[in-house]
Structure formats: structure tokens, C-alpha cells
Amino acid sequence: MVDIDAAIGYVVAHGDPVERARLSYLRTGQPPDPQVIERIVAGQTESGGWPAAADGVIASVDATAFRLNELDDLGGLHGEPVDRALAWLATVQRQDGTWQEDESLAEQAPAWAMPGDPEATLYLTALAGFWMTVAEFEANPHLQVPARYGSALAAAARWLVAQLRPDGTWPSFLAAGWHAAGLLHGQQYFYESARVQLVLGDRLPDMAPADIASMAAALRRVQLGDDWLLQSARKRLAETQRTDGGWDSAEGPVFDVNTTLTVLRACRA
């Protein structure tokens, strides 16, 4: 089993104020100090998105999704900053239903966010659609009123369905899979979502710990993932936990605390 106490100790010892506040909310539901939310919102651009770098001025789809993830861990996936971020995402969605980063970010963009790259386009479309799906559910959990961004999500889902291969695989990065599964399920493409989840289950033995954590947390967030898949994910996470209580990030040591928080999100009751 995952050593939850050791993971908590790692975040307490190495996390910044925002990360420790995320830990408190994940553990007890304790609302963060308003200054923690303000610290995240302070980096938001006038357009509504967040830049990829602290000194950046051009909003990034990838960075905006990361900030929405942070706010979600703080119980803050609502309110004016989130509304502005969602409105920005809807504004920059392309006519075919996809998302790409601004061309001006090409020199600094990682492979998964490279403007114009087909694999990056699929990943960012799944990622943006996933977080818009989660935000819509937070705003309207009982579906009493039409979704604010229903047309944007429908367009993204139609495009993603067209990209799936007959065996359920997709021509993009692994992480596109679990985000696509959440978006497709939310748009009632249940069969397509299930096919993607089966592929993820087949790939689980070869996944890095950070990917396993992200997959399990994302599927749980939208109430997906069968018992076998999540139980297998937790077993692999237990096997890859370090002696200091943390897990390795795919982006380097600076993100190890974030990966550990993602594990805790995936394993919480």
C-alpha cells in the first residue's frame, strides 16, 4: 500500500505555501488562506489564461490547465478567476474544436505543447476539454441548466473521436488518453471513453509513476476507472514510492512535490 503518512511528510518538508495548502485541502477539506488563492491568481494575464513562465505575457493552454488543477486541489474551481480562464479557453479554441498554443510560444514550448504539432494539438485539446468538463460539473453538478461551454466541449469531443484508431489508441502522448477519456465520457461518448480506458489499462505496467498518478487522479476526478484499473494503479504507486515518501516527476525534481500531491489525490478516500 502507498505510505500516505510518508507522502504527507514529504510535501510538508519540501512544498511551498501553495503546495502545503493543497495538501491541507486534500487531507481535511480545509479552505486555504485567501492569500494562497491570490498567489495563484496573481500570475493570471488580462486575457484570462496563465503564462507558461513567471515573467511571460502570452497565456498558455498548458499552463492554464495546470493552474486550474492547482485551484481544484484547493477547492477553488469556481469564482471570477476560473470564469475568466474558462472564457479565455473558449475564445482561443480553433474552429475545428481543437486547441493549440500561440505561435509565439514555439521557441520555449515543450514537445507536448508545440504550436502546430498534431500530437500536441490532440493532447492540448484533450487537456483543455477535460478541465472545462470538470469546471462545468463543479458549477452545475446536477445538470439543472445547460452547460456554459457545451458547444465548445461538443466540438472538442467530436474532433477527438475522429482521431481515435479502431483499436482505441490515439496518435499523441500517453497523457492525452486519460484526459480524453474524461472529456468523452462527459459528452456521452461512453463507448469511445471505455475503449481508451482499456488501452490505458494495457499500458499501465510500463507507465512512469507520475503518469500513473495523473491517470488515476484524473479518472477519479470524473468518477471513471473500474476497480481493477485503479487498484492496479495504486499497487504500482506503492512499488515506486521513494524512501523519502515522494515520487519522481517526469519534469524533474522541482515538480516532485506536485507529483506526490497527485498521488495523494489519486489515493484519497
Convert the pLDDT of each residue in 66-113 to its tens digit: 999 989 989 888 899 999 999 999 999 999 999 999 999 999 899 999
Continuous segment of H or E residues that includes residue 12: helix 4-14
What is the model's pLDDT at position 142?
A: 67
CB 178 within 8 A of CB 266: no
What is the model's pLDDT at position 248?
A: 94
What is the model's pLDDT at position 53?
A: 87
Pick out the chain residues at pLDDT < 70. 142-145, 225-226, 269
What is the model's pLDDT at position 269?
A: 62
Q: How far apart are CA 96 and CA 110, in angstroms?
A: 23
Cell digits of residue 75: 477547492
